[in-house]
Amino acid sequence: KAGVTQTPRYLIKTRGQQVTLSCSPISGHRSVSWYQQTPGQGLQFLFEYFSETQRNKGNFPGRFSGRQFSNSRSEMNVSTLELGDSALYLCASSFEGSTAQHFGDGTRLSIL
């Protein structure tokens, strides 16, 4: 059974650009969550999607957004990139009713 797949694995952008990251959950998982991991702030919750609807949102500015498609795949978008957005972005998926989340290997985003 394939795990959570995140693409791309690495990304380099410059300030002011925007970026879209993709996450394909484990087959049958309908909940997808996104986290940001940085050395200074650690792991922080961005948002969760379930059945194409945002169910929870963390304390991040509106530049961070996401969506989920009918096949449960999810994308997150960051607009007007700032140096501080450099981080490992992790996606996690789970079955409905389960809080045991399975994580992908992440997308490493570097802002120059």
Partner 1 sequence: AQSVTQPDIHITVSEGASLELRCNYSYGATPYLFWYVQSPGQGLQLLLKYFSGDTLVQGIKGFEAEFKRSQSSFNLRKPSVHWSDAAEYFCAVGDNNAGNMLTFGGGTRLMVKP
- Cβ-based nearer residue to partner 1, 16 or 28: 28
Helix, coil or strand: residue 83:
helix
- CB 62, min distance to partner 1, A: 18
SS3 letters for 26-66?
A: CCCCCEEEEEEEECCCEEEEEEEEECCEEEEECCCCCCEEE
Q: Distance between CA atoms of 3 and 104, rounded to whole angstroms?
A: 7
Size of interface with partner 1, in residues (CB under 8 A): 25
Query: Is residue 92 a contact residue for partner 1 (CB under 8 A)?
Result: yes
Query: Is residue 24 a contact residue for partner 1 (CB under 8 A)?
Result: no
Query: Is residue 99 a contact residue for partner 1 (CB under 8 A)?
Result: yes
- Cβ-based nearer residue to partner 1, 15 or 103: 103
- Cβ-based nearer residue to partner 1, 70 or 99: 99
Q: What angle do CA 20, 58, 39 make, to 5 degrees?
A: 75
